[in-house]
Amino acid sequence: MTLATQIHQRWLILYMNTPIFKKLNNHFDADPNAPDPKISLLGNHVVLSFFLNSFLWDNVSEGETGTLTFLNCLQYRLGKPDSDNYHRYRYYQSDVEYFDFYLVENSTWIEDFPIDKKIHNSSILNEFRSKLKHFVFFFRDNTFECVATGYSFGRVFNDASGRKEQVSNFIISSTSKDIYCRCSNCGKTIAKFTEDSMIPTFEECYKSGAVPVPNFGWLCSQNCANEYEEKYHIKFVRTKEGKVDYYYGEI
């Protein structure tokens, strides 16, 4: 092996082992002063909610909440460092800005995820091993990290009656005591709520064509999603094919 090849190989190994940060919050920011991140659990998923930055974004009103739902989440943590100690983060890179949400490529999370982690569902490791990704969000007073197959971003907004939707999981978002999950547009029954889930399950409802909207509720079909959008002048997230789908077929 020539010296040049050796150097090249060493460089390649070094390069492959360096985490690469891909900024994901290109359409929102967390509040820089008091983001107040909170975690809630839902089946296989973990929901992170936090206050959005209304100083930087005209379309965000003060006190509005953003949510990131991490799909099929193996483990997560909310802990050190804070913004003053960012240089102590284990993958610290001076050109990676604080206060942002990233996908970490080339992460060595399997070896060095901090010990204050909470294992959410250990069976996800076997089931989704090759699809797991490392996400990190640097907030002012702490850092959130998790390992999951993907994420979806949602916003909590006032519903048609002016009532603020409750920040919780994305199945039961209304504060009403109704034991049935109904279409928010036509009122059709989609499922029956149990204490911590629903029958049919979230996954079954999704696969049969009902449309879950994070922190909002359910619509029974694409038709009802379209109608609701028109009625209340809102915009749902759509896939490239034009379907309303916050989970991109990943459930």
Q: Tell me how long the chain is.
A: 251
Could you tell me the smallest distance in angstroms from the CB atom of residue 173 to Zn ion? Answer: 16
Which of 68, 220 has the CB closer to Zn ion?
220
Based on the shown chain and the rule CB under 5 A, indicate whether residue 224 belongs to the binding site for Zn ion.
yes
Which of 156, 211 has the CB closer to Zn ion?
211
- The first and second tokens of residue 168, run together, are 């919780």
Coil, helix or strand at residue 125: helix
- Which secondary-structure segment (H or E) carries 192? strand 189-193
User: Do residues 198 and 192 touch, judged by C-beta distance below 8 A?
Assistant: yes
Could you tell me the smallest distance in angstroms from the CB atom of residue 181 to Zn ion? Answer: 12
Q: Is the dihedral of CA 55, 59, 64, 68 positive or negative?
A: negative
CA gap 163, 234 in Å, rounded: 16
Applying CB under 5 A, which part among 3-11, 114-122, 125-133, 218-226 lies near Zn ion?
218-226
Which of 52, 210 has the CB closer to Zn ion?
210
Which of 197, 222 has the CB closer to Zn ion?
222
Based on the shown chain and the rule CB under 5 A, indicate whether residue 191 belongs to the binding site for Zn ion.
no
In the 8-state DSSP scheme, what is residue 173?
A: -
Based on the shown chain and the rule CB under 5 A, indicate whether residue 183 belongs to the binding site for Zn ion.
yes
CA gap 39, 49 in Å, rounded: 6
Based on the shown chain and the rule CB under 5 A, indicate whether residue 186 belongs to the binding site for Zn ion.
yes
Q: Which of 138, 185, 212, 213 binds Zn ion (CB under 5 A)?
A: 185
Applying CB under 5 A, which part among 101-109, 135-143, 173-181, 187-195 lies near Zn ion?
187-195
Give me the residues paired with residue 212 across strands: 218
Cα angle: 135, vertex 244, 197; to 5 degrees: 65
- The set of residues, in sequence order, having a beta carbon less than 8 Å from that of 24 and lying 6+ positions away, is 100, 101, 102, 103, 135, 151
Q: Which of 48, 220, 244, 251 binds Zn ion (CB under 5 A)?
A: 220
Could you tell me the smallest distance in angstroms from the CB atom of residue 188 to Zn ion? Answer: 5
Could you tell me the smallest distance in angstroms from the CB atom of residue 178 to Zn ion? Answer: 15
Residues making contact with Zn ion (CB under 5 A) = 183, 185-186, 188, 220, 224
